Amino acid sequence: MFTITAEEGQKLRLAHLQSVKRVVVKVGSAVLTDENGLHQKTLESLATEISFLREMGLEVVLVSSGAVAVGRKKLDLTRPKLSLQEKQAVASVGQSGLMYSYEQLFAARGVQVSQILLTHDDLAHRNRFLNIRSTLTTLFEWGVLPIVNENDTVSAEELQFGDNDTLGALITNLIDADIFICLTDVDSLYTANPHTDADAVALHTVPRVDDDVINMAGNSGSILGTGGMRSKIMAARMVAARGGHSFIGPGRKPGVIQSLFKGELLGTFFLPNEENVKLHSRKHWIAYVLRPKGYLVLDEGACRAVKRKGASLLPSGIVEVRGNFDVGDAVHCLDGQGKTVAAGLVNYTSNETQMISGHHSADIAEILGAKGDDEVIHRDNLVTL
């Protein structure tokens, strides 16, 4: 799997990057800030890099962490753990300072910026999801640089993305961007922890994000950020499912994005899932944006029909119903070992699904007292994972 030579990797980068038109750049708190607050040299370098992309004629969205870290510095809060309420308050202090710095930097380069603060709930509602896409498209038409961050000030735990790696990947797919550039405090993905394993090798090209790649990623984070390498790998997998590329690279290396577009072998470049038809936007939304309200355990026959044939899920293939969900809610389908095989939108409530599970579709009317859909999940609302 990892036999791609340096020469092959360089050619792949150049070939894939030639067609890029829209870019999402995500930069984390560990890159943007240090013990003294915002790292000014890094901000200057980031502004130069994004200006480089725009001068190439590319449309760019910047997904930026840093509000909490900036707020910590302003309020002189050094303890590592904050309550949710404290984090929300600190973010409200830091967000204005973060945006002021960006506004000053990009104004000096003749670029106007906009601020977009989001919660997961904004993307989970389809109409709001589409409205956000329309807003970003309009900003592109006006030549404005959108700067996106999670709305930490109002995000309750259930509304959080978890980290800006996930948010960046979702924005990438929302606007059909060609590449997700994740600038971080590590130089690339390694086969093992380079600090503890002398045999660890940097992976500069990853053709597919599978379980082996995910297992290589640790969960290292820092006081300034919430995401580790694992969250970045999972973000790359989300982007690949829609046919996009991802890049993880050293955020404080001067000219890192320019080096990427020259084909230089730094960081890790992830290829899209070219062997599969990329997921339609709505199905990607079902699979990766919506959080499951419940789970359906399927028998072997149903798993085969869903995974291999793209068939609808019938009640006869369901052996267990978990959770409390309503009509139209998202659920995940599990095999007998508990592995997720699909995600979808249900046609029945959890109580109704429990009543008809294991039965044939022809029995639904008799069991429920009214004729409903033959399928618990129609194939148009079902996505294999």
CATH number of the domain at 350, please.
Answer: 2.30.130.10
- pLDDT, average across residues 179-206: 87
Residues 251 and 323 in one domain: no
Contact 33, 224 (CB under 8 A): yes
Q: What is the DSSP letter of 312?
A: P
Residue with tokens 């290396």: 253
Residues 268 and 296 in one domain: no
Residues 159 and 300 in one domain: no
Question: Higher-confidence residue: 322 or 220?
Answer: 322
- For residue 34 the two structure tokens come to 């240090």
> Which domain covers residue 313, as residue numbers?
292-384
Residues 126 and 179 in one domain: yes
1 falls within a domain: no
Tell me: pLDDT of 224 over 80: no
Contact 344, 282 (CB under 8 A): no
Question: Higher-confidence residue: 119 or 295?
Answer: 295
Question: Higher-confidence residue: 2 or 123?
Answer: 123
Share of residues in the chain with pLDDT > 70 (%): 93
286 falls within a domain: no
Last residue of a domain, one of 254, 281, 308: 281
Residues 262 and 172 in one domain: yes
Tell me: pLDDT of 301 over 60: yes
Residue with tokens 């980031």: 46
21 falls within a domain: yes
Last residue of a domain, one of 281, 301, 321: 281
376 falls within a domain: yes
Q: Is 331 exposed, middle or buried (0-12, 13-18, 19+ CB in 10 A)?
A: buried
Contact 91, 74 (CB under 8 A): no
Residues 224 and 320 in one domain: no
170 falls within a domain: yes
Residues 146 and 69 in one domain: yes
What spatial distance separates the first Cα and last Cα of the chain, rounded to whole Å? 21
Whole-angstrom distance, CA of residue 18 vs CA of residue 29: 30
Residue with tokens 């709505």: 282
63 falls within a domain: yes
Predicted pLDDT of residue 282:
86
- Give the chain's domain count: 2
Last residue of a domain, one of 281, 314, 347: 281
Find the helix or strand (DSSP H, E) in which 158 lies: none
Express each pLDDT in 82-93 by its tens digit: 888 888 899 899
Distances (CA, A) of 321 to 12, 78, 288, 311, 367: 45, 46, 21, 19, 17
pTM (2 decimals)? 0.85
Whole-angstrom distance, CA of residue 213 vs CA of residue 190: 9
Tell me: pLDDT of 277 over 60: no
Express each pLDDT in 90-112 by its tens digit: 989 999 999 999 999 999 999 99
3-state secondary structure of 111: coil
Residues in the chain: 385
pLDDT band at 187 (very low <50, low <70, confident <90, very high): confident
Residues 233 and 176 in one domain: yes
Residue with tokens 């069991």: 367
CB count, 10 Å around CB of 334? 19
Predicted pLDDT of residue 160:
53
287 falls within a domain: no
Predicted pLDDT of residue 350:
97
Residues 62 and 160 in one domain: yes
Predicted pLDDT of residue 222:
39
Residues 215 and 312 in one domain: no
- Which among 6, 33, 17, 27 has a CA at the least distance from the CA of 250? 27
262 falls within a domain: yes
Residues 315 and 196 in one domain: no
CATH number of the domain at 31, please.
Answer: 3.40.1160.10
140-149, 219-228, 235-244, 251-260, range with the lowest pLDDT: 219-228
Residues 247 and 273 in one domain: yes
